[in-house]
Every structure is written in structure tokens, then in C-alpha cells.
């Protein structure tokens, strides 16, 4: 079992276990190049390319064979049905009748969870759905998703909607052993120094998010070096849990271009000053101590692009590696 204390000054690591794990990894699967995750210096910051999500993203779905007067919908592998409002052309006056007929059919057909994706222009559907047993699952700008669990002899095991926000901080250290730090314009603690960073955008890898946020807030372009640490907390914005991920980055330029909308101050601060500064929160000091400890142990938490064998979807795999083996 590989145990790494992300937040301790003295991070304990069983190096023999690490060596064994890396050996097994190399001998049982082909090694692809470590992902080069950075935004080029002359490149704008493109927004992630978002695809319109379906309500339930199951790997296998198909159009439902429906009789006349019944919503068509998409059937997932759990016998659930998703009805997308933009795919259904029904007058408001006929919605209630079509809904009742559809519910009768779905019950007879032993369908389970019924999902309705209702857009702003169909807002008059919402009270009718609520009257017929549907509840709210989640909402985004311009769309609300409502659901109903049909089986009477089976308890619902539908998952809650996404409940955790992800933020990133960029730990950028230059060749003079100086840390890139900022003061937010609207800081919770006035005049405090922190790492540049912000929220991860939908479908954005958090390494890319850290590189983007550092560039947007300070004008410093950078490239990935190592994952450093993460902090997990609860009762954050919108009542969500919060994961804050710190990523070590190598600067590619040194001149600032401060984001005047969000950032009050930006500077390069010597490591020793940062570790002893009264306006630096203890947790932020700990992030730096953890990274310095990794360097002392010749360790890095690196990343590699992979493709899921079944779903054929890309993902990032993070793992501990010796710095010397990474460069070899």
C-alpha cells in the first residue's frame, strides 16, 4: 500500500513499495509519453469545448420504441428514460394528456427512472410535471432536469447531482527560488498573500486550469512540473464540498501582466519570506513545504494521458515517480 501524506511536512513514503509498483506498471502495460500540459506563450486561453450533456450519461443508450401519443425519449441501460424538451414538439395544451399517456406506457413497460430535460421556453411544463409526481434533480442556466422513480417495489438509488466544486492553485517557483504570489481584490483576509488560481471550468483538466488561471491573473505563462497537494472541505459555495488542488508549475516568462479586475497585487516572493510571512496562511505555507520535501526526496507526482479500455474516453492518470526516472 502506497501511503503519501499530502499535507504533512515529513511526507512518509515507502520507496520499496513505490519501486515495485512502478516496475509492475512498466512490465504489464505499454508506457505512453507523459502529457505535456501547458498553454503556449503566444496562445489565447480557449474556453473548453463543451458538448450539450444528456441528463444521464450512460455508455449505452438507444431511442425508445414508443406508440403514438407517447414521448419518445432515450432508454439507458438501467431501463430509465430521458425526454429532452427540444426533441419533443408538443403544444402546451396537449402536454398534460401526452404525459399521462406516457406514464401509463412506461409503467406497463417496467421503465424505472424517468427524466425530463425542460428548457426555459417550456417552463410551463414544470408545474404539470410537479403535479404528476416529478421532482427537481438539478438546474443549469436555461434548463432544469426533473425526475420520477416509477417502481413501487424497489427503492430509488438515483445519485445526487454533482455536489463538489474544484479549484486549483498554481505553485510557481522561478530559478531564484521565488514564489509567485497574489493578493485578491476581494480577499477574505485583506492584504493576505496567496497562490494564483481559481475554479476549474467544466470538462477542463485541473493542470490546464492551473496554467490558465496563473496566466489570466498574473500574465505568467507556465508548464506542468508536479501535482503537490489537495485540500478537501465541506459547506462551501452553494452548499457544495470543495476540492482545492495545488499544482507546481515552471514559469516560462517573468514579467507580470496583472488582472486588474481580480488581482490587487502580484510579486515574486523569496521562499524564506513566504514561509515566515504573517500574511501567508499556514495551509499555503504547508503546500510549499510539501513541494520542497518532494524535491528533497527526488519525487514528483506526474501525469499521463490515457484512454479507457471500455469507454474509449480520455482521462489523466496521476502517479508518484522519481524525478530521475521521469527524465530518463
| CATH architecture, domain defined by 63-149 | 3-Layer(aba) Sandwich (3.40)
- Helix ranges (DSSP H) in 200-315: 206-218, 271-276, 282-296
> Among residues 70, 78, 157, which one has the least CA distance to residue 110?
78
- Say what the pLDDT of residue 252 is: 97
Q: Please, are residues 222 and 38 in contact by the beta-carbon 8 Å criterion? A: yes
- Say what the pLDDT of residue 64 is: 67
- Say what the pLDDT of residue 134 is: 98
Profile the chain (328 residues) by mean pLDDT over runs of 10 residues: 36 42 42 41 46 46 76 93 92 92 96 97 96 96 96 91 92 98 91 95 94 98 96 87 95 95 96 96 95 94 90 90 71
- Check if CATH label 1.10.760.10 holds for domain 164-322: no
- Say what the pLDDT of residue 62 is: 63
Strands 197-199 and 299-307: unpaired
Tell me the C-alpha distance between 22 and 20, whole Å: 6
Please, where in the chain does CATH 3.40.630.30 lie? 63-149
Please, where in the chain does CATH 3.90.79.10 lie? 164-322
Could you tell me the pTM of the whole model?
A: 0.69
- Say what the pLDDT of residue 238 is: 79
Amino acid at each position: 500500500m502506497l501511503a503519501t501524506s499530502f499535507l504533512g511536512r515529513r511526507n512518509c513514503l515507502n520507496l520499496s513499495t513505490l519501486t515495485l509498483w512502478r516496475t509492475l506498471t512498466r512490465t504489464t502495460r505499454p508506457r505512453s509519453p507523459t502529457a505535456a500540459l501547458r498553454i503556449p506563450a503566444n496562445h489565447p486561453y480557449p474556453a473548453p469545448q463543451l458538448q450539450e450533456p444528456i441528463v444521464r450519461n450512460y455508455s449505452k443508450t438507444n431511442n425508445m420504441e414508443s406508440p403514438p401519443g407517447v414521448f419518445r425519449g432515450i432508454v439507458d441501460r438501467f431501463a430509465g428514460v430521458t425526454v429532452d424538451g427540444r426533441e419533443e414538439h408538443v403544444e402546451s395544451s396537449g402536454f398534460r394528456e401526452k404525459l399521462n399517456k406516457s406514464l401509463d406506457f412506461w409503467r406497463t413497460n417496467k421503465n424505472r427512472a424517468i427524466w425530463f430535460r425542460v428548457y426555459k421556453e417550456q417552463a410551463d411544463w414544470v408545474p404539470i410535471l410537479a403535479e404528476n409526481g416529478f421532482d427537481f434533480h438539478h438546474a443549469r442556466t436555461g434548463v432544469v432536469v426533473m425526475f420520477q422513480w416509477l417502481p413501487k417495489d424497489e427503492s430509488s438509488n438515483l445519485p445526487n447531482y454533482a455536489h463538489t466544486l474544484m479549484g486549483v492553485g498554481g505553485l510557481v517557483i522561478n530559478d531564484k527560488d521565488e514564489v509567485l504570489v497574489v493578493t485578491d481584490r476581494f480577499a477574505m483576509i485583506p492584504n493576505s498573500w496567496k497562490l494564483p488560481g481559481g475554479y476549474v471550468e467544466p470538462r477542463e483538466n485541473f493542470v490546464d486550469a492551473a496554467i490558465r488561471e496563473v496566466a489570466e491573473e498574473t500574465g505568467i505563462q507556465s508548464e506542468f512540473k508536479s501535482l503537490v497537494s489537495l485540500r478537501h472541505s465541506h459547506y462551501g459555495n452553494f452548499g457544495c464540498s470543495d476540492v482545492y488542488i495545488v499544482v507546481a508549475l515552471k514559469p516560462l516568462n517573468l514579467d507580470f501582466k496583472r488582472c486588474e479586475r481580480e488581482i490587487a497585487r502580484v510579486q515574486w516572493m523569496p521562499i524564506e519570506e513566504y514561509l515566515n510571512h504573517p500574511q501567508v496562511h499556514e495551509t499555503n505555507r504547508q503546500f510549499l513545504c510539501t513541494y520542497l520535501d518532494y524535491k528533497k526526496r527526488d519525487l514528483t507526482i506526474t501525469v499521463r494521458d490515457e484512454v479507457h479500455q471500455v469507454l474509449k474516453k480520455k482521462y489523466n492518470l496521476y502517479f508518484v515517480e522519481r524525478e530521475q526516472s521521469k527524465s530518463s
